[in-house]
Structures are given as structure tokens and as C-alpha cells.
A and B are shown apart, each in its own frame.
With several copies, the nearest count.
Chain A
Amino acid sequence: MVNAMHEWALAESIIMAVIDLAKRENAKEVVEIELLIGGLQTIDLEIFEFALNELKKETIAKNAKIRFVKQKPKFKCNVCGYEWIVDDLNKVLSEEEIESIHFIPELSHVFMKCPKCGSNDFDIVEGRGVLLKGVRIVK
């Protein structure tokens, strides 16, 4: 059910943060919200966008343009130093694993290993998930 999906929670965090930031800056209006969309979290962007638009209604951000910057998940191994990008999670993970990572991206440490040395001890360098990158306001 589209209206129940957890993307709503992610959107709610973003809108609450944007409103608070705007208020603290004494903004008249929020004109743009820039969001990083990391591919590891595999969010449903359509639903996420729908939720953002619903939630910003009747707020200081109601007219804000939302810009998404997509980022592929990139990892770096702490053991051997190898860096890699995953283009398609479906090639290395089961549906169930992708679902767990969808809720908590750090669980990629449970289900993924460094392709070179086999270690779970890597860093998620970029492309983790949803991130508030910038807010443009007018005062």
C-alpha cells in the first residue's frame, strides 16, 4: 500500500528538518530543497516524492522545488583498500537482503563482502541513502 510505505518516514524527517531550518533562519519561504538519494537504500523515489509534496503542503516549504541528486553506492574496504561501486544491487543480494538494507543501510555489512578480499569491514563511502544536502530560502 503506497500510503503506508516507510518512505513516508524518510520524507517526514526531511520536511521537519527543512521547516525548522527555515524558521531558525527567519525565512519567508523555502524555494528549494536539495536531496541526495543514495542507491544503497533503494527507496521508491516516486512514493518518496509524493510524500514530500504531501507533507510540505501548508508549510513554509509549500512552493519549494525538490531536487534529487542520485548517487550510486560506493564502498571502500578497510582491510585491503579496494574501492567499488555497485550498479545493480540485485546482482549481489537477495530480495530479502535488499529489503533489510532498505530499512537500515548499514545492514549491508551483514550481507555484502569486499569483492577483493572477502571482508565485511568496509566503509560506505557514498550513496548510502536519503540525505538533506541543501535548503534555499528567501527572507
Chain B
Amino acid sequence: MSVDARIYRIKKTLGGIKNIIGVVSGKGGVGKTTISAVMSLILSVKGYSVGLLDLDFHGPSCHTILGIKDLEYEEEKGINPYRITKNLYFASIYPFVKDEYVPLRGKALSNALIEFLSILNWRKIDYLIVDMPPGMGDILLDIVRLIPNSKFIAVTTNSVLSIQTVGRLIKFIIDSRLELQGIIANMIRNYDTRARRLAEELSVNFLGSVPFDADYENTIGNPQSILGTKLASALKEIVERHIT
């Protein structure tokens, strides 16, 4: 029998969420995780109910940014995402694997993703922010396949190496007839010209730039301090203008 029963419960539990936003890039190290985590904080502080889902199974790190050490899930006919504040929920494989390495081939990655999604209980939240791994492998293809109503935000730096890889990914999103909210240029020092040009060439929204913020690193693990950084201010403007 080739029916995967788990997919039914995935559709149900994700069905009550108003906006599912995948933060993608294809390229690693451009700030997907940072932007996912900080955007979730910003949205939750604004009063929206928000979920943050870390899908980088090979290197989960949202919990580090949020400064969560001892998270445990509560079972309730499934598992409840960890409640960070009254309106911010979080799910990651981190509590299961801690600091062990997670060597998973694609097939196993896909199976782990489907299993995880199928046992999570999401409330009827306003936003689910999905921190995606780099690459165009099983996780991306499964998210596209299983959650066809998800929207995407593409993150890039202004480096040619990033631009070309993000360009490939955006073409994939467009060809797959998925909704791309737009491009965020991250870690901008002086110019964001390449990122803006990419947006223009591909006729997608340029959502704005987030500066490289040397002070940010020291706030990692401390949400209150993170919200005071220049990084967070820039992201707040983008969120207000384009996401809410």
C-alpha cells in the first residue's frame, strides 16, 4: 500500500495556520536561521501568535539564537511545540538529538520530516515561520509537495556567490508556481545592488536590506537584547511593510 497516512494529519494540523512562510536561499550562511528566529520574535512581540519551525536537521540552531537550553515537549495526543512566550511556539529536532551529529541521507531526512510534521500539534496561529536548510534537496521538495500553500522569503547576501545560488532557487519557486513574498538582502555592508538587481531581473519584490551588524553576535541567546540590535530594527521595518 503506497498511501502515507501521516500526510493526512500534517494537512490537518497545518490547516489552521494563516500564513506559512518558508525562509529559503539555497545558499548556506546567508542568514536564514537568523532572519527566521528574529522575525518570529518581532511578530510575536507585535502580538501575533507565531510558530517557529527549525527544519535544518543536520545543524539545528534556532534554539541557540533564542537562548533555549532545556526544552522538552509536552505530549498531548501528539507533541506540542515548546511554548517560549504566551504567543510564540517553537519546534526543532534539537531536544531529541542535543549536540550529537545527525548524519541523515535524503530518504531518512524526508521520512524524519514527515514523521515530525505529522505528530506536531500546531495551534491556529497567525504565522508559522519555517527555517529551511540550504540546498534543494528532500526537505525543500517535501515542503513544496506537502504544503503547497506555503509562501517563501528568499534571503541572500550581496556576494555574487550567493546571488547566483539564490537566483537558481527563486527560479525554482517561480516555476513551481509558489508564492514568493520577495527577497531580503542580509549582512549588507555598503551596497545591496546585486540583490536589488536580482529582484528586478526576476520580477520579484525586493523586501529590503538588513545591515551587517557586528554587535549582533553578542546578543545571540538573549531575545531581549536581540530585539535592540540594528539587525532587528531593519527586520522590523521589513516585517511591518511587507509581512503583516
> A67: CB under 8 A from chain B?
no
Type the 1/0 row for A1-37, where 1 means its CB is closer than 8 Å to any CB of B.
1011110111011101110110000000000000000
Type the 1/0 row for B74-88, where 1 means its CB is closer than 8 Å to any CB of A.
111111000000000
Q: B23-31, B105-113, B224-232: which lies at the A interface?
A: B105-113
- Selected from A1, A16, A103, A107, the residue in CB contact (under 8 A) with B9 is A16
Establish whether residues A5 and B118, one from each chain, have CB atoms under 8 Å apart when the complex forms.
no
Establish whether residues A107 and B77, one from each chain, have CB atoms under 8 Å apart when the complex forms.
no
> A63: CB under 8 A from chain B?
no
Best-surrounded residue of A9, A16, A123, A124 (most CB of chain B within 10 A)? A9
- Selected from B77, B102, B105, the residue in CB contact (under 8 A) with A110 is B102
> B93: CB under 8 A from chain A?
yes
- Selected from B1, B77, B141, the residue in CB contact (under 8 A) with A8 is B77
Establish whether residues B97 and A6, one from each chain, have CB atoms under 8 Å apart when the complex forms.
no
In the complex with contacts A14-B5, A109-B108, A121-B145 CB distance below 8 A? yes
Chain A stretch 27-79: residues in CB contact (< 8 A) with chain B: 51, 78-79
Instruction: For chain B, give the interface size range.
Output: 35 or more
Establish whether residues B144 and A133, one from each chain, have CB atoms under 8 Å apart when the complex forms.
no
> A111: CB under 8 A from chain B?
yes
> B216: CB under 8 A from chain A?
no
> B191: CB under 8 A from chain A?
no
From residue B99, how far is it (CB to closest CB) to chain A in Å?
11
| Given A104-B112, A119-B176, 17 more pairs with CB closer than 8 A | A4-B75, A9-B78, A9-B119, A13-B9, A17-B8, A103-B79, A105-B111, A107-B96, A107-B102, A110-B97, A110-B100, A110-B101, A118-B175, A118-B177, A119-B145, A129-B115, A134-B1
Selected A-B contacts with CB under 8 Å, 30 pairs: A4-B76, A8-B77, A8-B78, A9-B9, A9-B78, A9-B119, A9-B121, A12-B78, A13-B6, A13-B7, A16-B9, A17-B3, A51-B77, A103-B116, A104-B96, A104-B112, A104-B116, A105-B111, A106-B112, A110-B101, A110-B102, A119-B145, A119-B176, A120-B103, A121-B103, A121-B105, A121-B145, A130-B5, A132-B5, A133-B1
Binding site for B on A (CB under 8 A): 1, 3-6, 8-10, 12-14, 16-18, 20-21, 51, 78-79, 100, 103-107, 109-111, 118-121, 123-124, 128-135
